C-alpha cells in the first residue's frame, strides 16, 4: 500500500515479504516477521531527499523472535525515472553511493571502533543492489530522533562544530584506507567535475546557476566589476574546476562526500539543552577521493550563516585539523598529517568549491514552498528552469547573504581566474 504526495505510487516490489527477507539477512534472525506495511513518499519538495533519487519511507510492525511487535521503518532510496534517471545512470551516481555504503563506510566505522570511538558517520545500510535497477535500503534516522535542520536558515556554530568533527573523523579514516587498501577507493578517483562525457548532462548545473546569480548581481550598484567576473566564471567554471581537481589533493587524499551541505545532514538535538549532540551525513552519490578542502569549502561557504563564518572561520578550520590529526595519530597513520597552515593553503587552492556552494546550493536552502519535479529544473536553460532559479536568487534572504558573501569572494581573490 502506498500513500503520500500527489500521484505517488509505491514500487511494486516493495512488499512486506521482501523487507522481511532483507531484515532477516541483516539481523541474522530467521524468527523475524514484517507485517502491516505502509509505504509513503519520503520526499517533500527537495527536502530530505537526494536530487537524483526517489525516496520512500516504509513503515511496518516488526517482530523479532519472542519479543513483542514494535513499530519500525526504513528509507528506500530508489533510482529515479525519466530524464533524471538517465542522467543518474550515465553519471553512475547510484553505483558510487552503493560502493560507499558497501566498501568504504563499513571500513570507516570499523577503524573508529578499533580506537574505542563510537562515532556514527552515516545511516545503517540494510541492503543494496545494482540490478535490474539500483536502490538502497537505509536506516530511518527519525526513529532515533534525528531531524533535518530548520528550513530556510543557515547553520549556526552549535551545528557546525559537530559536523566538522564528524567530517574530520571520516577523512582521517579514509586516509588510512587509502594507505592500507587503496583498491577500495579506486572508483572514487574521478572528480564530480571531470572530462568524462557521461557526466556532461549533470555538469550543466554549475554554469546555469552561476549565470543566474551573475544576472542578479548585474542589477546592483557598485558591483560592476564583480558582475563581470561572475559572468566570466559562468562561462569557464567547468574548465576552472577541472584544473582545480587535477592540481590539488596529490599528497594527502581523503574520501569526500563532495555534496556536504545542510540537506545532506540530520541532527540529533538534546532534549534538555536543546542543542545538537550528534549529526549524521547523508548522500554519497558524488563522493570523491581528493583534497579534504573540497568538503570544507563547499560546506563552510554553502551552508554556514555568513556571520558565523566571518567570526569563527579560523576556529572552525582549527577544530577540523585538530580532530583530523588526533584521529590519525590514534590510528597510527604513517603518512604526512597536514598542518593547520597546509589546510588553509588547500582551502585557498580549492576556493572555487566555496563559490560553487554559495551560488549553486545556498539559493536552494532559502527557497520557500514547493521544490522541483526533476533534475531538468536545476540543470537546463528551460523556461521553467530559468524561472525556478530566478525565484531562488531574488529571495530577499538569499540576496542579503549573497551581497556580503560575494564581496568576501572578490576581496579574497576567489573570483579571479
State how far the Cα of 93 lies from the Cα of 312, in Å rounded to an integer.
34
Give residue 38's pLDDT.
96
Contact 388, 336 (CB under 8 A): no
Q: Does one domain contain both 195 and 301?
A: yes
Q: Are residues 42 and 114 in the same domain?
A: no
Say whether both 269 and 233 belong to one domain.
yes
Q: Write the CATH number for 261.
A: 3.90.1200
Q: What is the sign of the dihedral through the CA atoms of 127, 132, 135 and 137? A: negative
Q: Give the ranges where 275-361 is alpha helix by DSSP (H).
A: 293-302, 306-330, 340-349, 352-356
Cell numbers given for 7: 500521484
For the stretch 31-88, pLDDT in tens is 999 999 999 998 644 343 456 889 999 999 999 988 899 999 999 999 988 878 888 8
Q: Judge if 28 and 158 occupy the same domain.
A: no
Does 170 lie in the same domain as 36? Answer: no
The number of beta carbons lying within 10 Å of the beta carbon of residue 369 is: 6
For residues 116-144, average pLDDT: 96
* Cβ pair 350, 291 in contact under 8 A: yes
Higher pLDDT, 66 or 369: 66
Q: How far apart are CA 316 and CA 258, in angstroms?
A: 18
Q: What's the distance, CA 260 to chain centroid?
A: 4
Give the pLDDT mean for 86-97. 90
Q: Torsion angle, CA of 285/287/288/293, rounded to 10 degrees?
A: 140
Q: Are residues 71 and 103 in the same domain?
A: no
Considering the domain architecture, whether residues 54 and 106 belong to the same structural domain is answered as: no
Residue 6: pLDDT band (50, 70, 90) is low
For a pLDDT cut of 90, what percent of the chain falls above it?
81
For the chain, how many structural domains are there in total? 2
The verdict on residue 142 lying in a domain is: no
Give the pLDDT band of residue 286 (cuts 50, 70, 90): very high
pTM assigned to the model = 0.94
Establish if 296 belongs to a structural domain.
yes
Q: What is the pLDDT of residues 314-324, one digit of tens each?
A: 999 999 999 99
What pLDDT digit, counting tens, does each position of 152-193 carry?
999 999 999 999 999 999 999 999 999 999 999 999 999 999
pLDDT at 48: 39
Give, in order, the Cα–Cα distances in Å from 224 to each of 161, 230, 352, 407: 36, 10, 20, 12
Find the domain containing 34 and state its range.
1-78
Amino acid at each position: 500500500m502506498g500513500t503520500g504526495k500527489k500521484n505517488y505510487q509505491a514500487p511494486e516490489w516493495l512488499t512486506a515479504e521482501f523487507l522481511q527477507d532483507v531484515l532477516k539477512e541483516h539481523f541474522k534472525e530467521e524468527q523475524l516477521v514484517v507485517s502491516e506495511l505502509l509505504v509513503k513518499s519520503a520526499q517533500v519538495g527537495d527536502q530530505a531527499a537526494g536530487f537524483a533519487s526517489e525516496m520512500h519511507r516504509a513503515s511496518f510492525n516488526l517482530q523479532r523472535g519472542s519479543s513483542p511487535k514494535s513499530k519500525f521503518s526504513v528509507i528506500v532510496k530508489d533510482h529515479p525515472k525519466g530524464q533524471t534517471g538517465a542522467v543518474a545512470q550515465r553519471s553512475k551516481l547510484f553505483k558510487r553511493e552503493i560502493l560507499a555504503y558497501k566498501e568504504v563506510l563499513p571500513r570507516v566505522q570499523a577503524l573508529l571502533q578499533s580506537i574505542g570511538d563510537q562515532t556514527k558517520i552515516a545511516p545503517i545500510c540494510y541492503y543494496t543492489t545494482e540490478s535490474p535497477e539500483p536502490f538502497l535500503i537505509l536506516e530511518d534516522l527519525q526513529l532515533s530522533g534525528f531531524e533535518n535542520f530548520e528550513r530556510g536558515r543557515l547553520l549556526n556554530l552549535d551545528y557546525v562544530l559537530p559536523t566538522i568533527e564528524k567530517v574530520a573523523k571520516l577523512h582521517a579514516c579514509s586516509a588510512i584506507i587509502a594507505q592500507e587498501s587503496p583498491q577500495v577507493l579506486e572508483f572514487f578517483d574521478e572528480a564530480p567535475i571531470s572530462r568524462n562525457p557521461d557526466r556532461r548532462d549533470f555538469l550543466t548545473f554549475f554554469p546555469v546557476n552561476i549565470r543566474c546569480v551573475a544576472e542578479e548581481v548585474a542589477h546592483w550598484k557598485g558591483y560592476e566589476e564583480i558582475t563581470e567576473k561572475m559572468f566570466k566564471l559562468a562561462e569557464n567554471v567547468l574548465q576552472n574546476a577541472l584544473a582545480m581537481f587535477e592540481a590539488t589533493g596529490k599528497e594527502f587524499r581523503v574520501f569526500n562526500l563532495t555534496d556536504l551541505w545542510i540537506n545532506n545532514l540530520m541532527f540529533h538535538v538534546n532534549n534538555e539543552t536543546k542543542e545538537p549532540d550528534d549529526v549524521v551525513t547523508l548522500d554519497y552519490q558524488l563522493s570523491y577521493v581528493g583534497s579534504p578542502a573540497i568538503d570544507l569549502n563547499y560546506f563552510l561557504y554553502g551552508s554556514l550563516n555568513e556571520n558565523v563564518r566571518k567570526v569563527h572561520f579560523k576556529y572552525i578550520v582549527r577544530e577540523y585539523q585538530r580532530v583530523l590529526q588526533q584521529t590519525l595519530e590514534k590510528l597510527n597513520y604513517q603518512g604526512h598529517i597536514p598542518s593547520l597552515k597546509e589546510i588553509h593553503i588547500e582551502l585557498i587552492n580549492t576556493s572555487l568549491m566555496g563559490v560553487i556552494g554559495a551560488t549553486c546550493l545556498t539559493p536552494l536552502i532559502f527557497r520557500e514552498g514547493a521544490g522541483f519535479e526533476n533534475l531538468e529544473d536545476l540543470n537546463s536553460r528551460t523556461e521553467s528552469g530559468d524561472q525556478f532559479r530566478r525565484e531562488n536568487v531574488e529571495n530577499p534572504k538569499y540576496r542579503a547573504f549573497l551581497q556580503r558573501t560575494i564581496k568576501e569572494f572578490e576581496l579574497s581573490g576567489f573570483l579571479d581566474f
